[in-house]
Chains A and B, each alone.
Chain A
């Protein structure tokens, strides 16, 4: 990665981290409701892969831990926060919430609650790309536990069979909701499970963005060259609970401290400082600047935005009726 890109990505990861931590606070203040699944600790995974891909061009899909993926694709943090606040100005007009962020203009295709649900959707997006002859790829970001769903296996088989241009990124954070991987999964290293489908697979350290980037470059190039799917496993850790309702009783504080020593933001920061490209003061100023942006622009926008109107409750269930009349009534428009 070039120096300017490393500095830019550091700024972005700080934004992602501060955004997520601000969500935590907003949830406690009851500005955000429902289920909230936060990303801190895993920033190098999304950022490393997306730096090798083309944000806004390639099609990205993921599960419910989706805020950072959306923002990395190009979604406006103001619209994402407004969605969490349930406002009409939210990316899904307040209808989706945290687990259903969508930004199709930036090719961010959601935002899904059922673990593993996105797997076949990603393969379908890849099928459409293949049929239409585009140069995009589909990238599916899911966790280790999702690989225990039947539909993971069904999807891998079809993706390999039809050589679909889809990259499966497994953010292996060692837990599926409240159960450790050792207690739920016969094989810890997910990339080994994929060999049975004749799909090339790789694994690397998910906390060092430069390592992720190198492995992601190889993965993206493979898929982009029309060689079919690829599976990239990133070993990572989420610092927060599965969701806000999680007191993390199933993990030890010692384990958490160990992983905090490998904070992806500090790894990159310290590397840049050692290379003389950054000072600690500048980093602290960046953090302050980011918090100010989030407070004065992102939160303010969300607070000031209007709620959706109850009259619009049934809007978006179906396509706009006017446009569908010929098929609904059998009469030409």
Chain B
């Protein structure tokens, strides 16, 4: 096992897949000569050249469509959108071309693309650079959505996404690129579907994904040590499809659920998980499921306002204590 950073894990997945298959290419703004804003493509330009590591103009709609068109002929592009905030410009092509083309063509055309983008709130980047947009991609028929919470997932999910013939959107996080974690030395493919139990527990399930998994783990530690509450943390690395079976299994065990998301509440991961709990195991519940989420505001610049808008592990602890009547 190697202990490497999230960005190194992504870089390694790119490198292995590009070495193996000459039709795997990557494209995006500053990914080549500059090595990538977050270093996710560092060194690839020198190794594979400009035909396969494409520095694109600032034309998200155009270059995303171009990558998708290339994939129609068997090229496997990893298309980086520098910040998920810019992805709005690419969505017509992502949804109307890549996601729908297999169905519209009765199975004739396939679009084996990977779209990867950095989402989430960083520090004081303001309203147009701090969006959490997972919900926008979830629920588009024909598009898979995954989100790595650690370097092992960042490596393994990209490996699987490149091999998979379906279009996949990988939602990374701006604050996690320097996060360190264990990654297998050998080749590893993380499943694109399912969920992972990050910490086993019995009294309440804490659902998290991406950065909120870490809030849940911290909260679980506090709940255990200070309050004697045993929390199970479930990592929902697959956002579309969500893991119905995994959700049902954990809630059937613990009978309580808190969903922690960095996104605002409406139409989010929390809404979806609660709907699924409703459908799969309503009568297992001992308490109403609860969402811990950001405020519905465009992200403020001011540091204090920004902190107030976004939850953290303490909000997760509070939500659990309230649920147990210990608030």
Instruction: Using CB atoms and an 8 Å cutoff, list the residues of chain A in contact with chain B.
Output: 59, 61, 90-96, 100, 102-105, 109-114, 117, 119-132, 150-151, 154-155, 157-158, 161-162, 315-319, 323-324, 326-331
Contacts and interface: CB of A to CB of B under 8 A. Distances in A.
A103 B108 contact: yes
Nearest to B101: A110
Nearest to A102: B105
Given A125-B73, A128-B75, A327-B163, A319 B102 contact: yes
Contacts of B165: 319, 323-324
Given A128-B74, A328-B193, A121 B97 contact: yes
Contact of A110 (B59, B105, B164): B105
A88 B17 CA distance: 38
A96 to B, nearest CB: 5
7 closest cross-chain pairs (CB), A and B = A124-B69, A120-B65, A154-B62, A93-B106, A330-B191, A121-B69, A128-B73
Interface string B56-80: 1101011111111111111100000
Given A120-B62, A121-B66, A128-B69, 11 more contacts: A95-B104, A100-B104, A110-B104, A111-B104, A112-B97, A120-B66, A121-B93, A124-B75, A128-B74, A317-B142, A330-B191
A273 B144 CA distance: 59
Nearest to A122: B69
A104 B66 CA distance: 18
A128 B104 CA distance: 22
28 contacts: A100-B104, A102-B105, A104-B109, A110-B104, A110-B109, A114-B96, A120-B62, A120-B65, A121-B68, A121-B69, A121-B97, A131-B23, A132-B75, A151-B62, A151-B65, A154-B57, A158-B63, A161-B57, A315-B107, A316-B107, A317-B141, A318-B102, A318-B144, A326-B189, A327-B160, A328-B164, A328-B193, A330-B156
Contacts of B227: none
Contacts of A319: 102, 110, 164-166
Contacts of B161: 327
Interface residues of B, number: 53
Contacts of A93: 106-107
B72 A96 contact: no
B129 interface: no
B190 interface: yes
Nearest to A166: B69
B1 interface: no
